[in-house]
Amino acid sequence: MPQDVTIFITDRNGVKHEVLAPTDMNMNIMELIRSYELAEEGTIGVCGGMAMCASCQCYILNDVVSLERNPDEEAMLWEAYHVKDNSRLGCQIHITEDLEGLELEIAPEQ
């Protein structure tokens, strides 16, 4: 039976949120941030999760998820602002049981 995982998300105001993420709904981090309304509407997932806008960029704060980016993600982050070595696009991180305890911070708006 799939279980929810706990993910810690620091919003753009520096507030840390502990959220439960379902592993059985094929969601990604960008959709999770939207569903908990942790970023202002219209400021995250602008392209709908197609790795085409970088509005869902986040910084991975622990080693729960790989920092390796796929080619689309790499290309988008190449053009984005506020990119760090630990930047990933939230829409490219799918929620699985492996993400238990993930800590991330939503990057500033572009």
Q: What is the pLDDT of residues 49-98, one digit of tens each?
A: 999 999 999 999 999 999 999 999 999 999 999 999 999 999 999 999 99
DSSP state at residue 67: -
DSSP state at residue 92: G
Superfamily of structural domain 4-106: Beta-grasp domain (3.10.20.30)
Compute the mean pLDDT over every residue in the chain, rounded to the nearest whole number: 95
Residue 110 is predicted with a pLDDT of 73
Residue 102 burial (10 A CB sphere; 0-12, 13-18, 19+)? buried
Alpha-carbon distance 38 to 32, whole Å?
A: 9
What residue spans define the domains of the chain? 4-106
Number of neighbours of residue 80 by Cβ within 10 angstroms: 16
Residue 96 is predicted with a pLDDT of 96
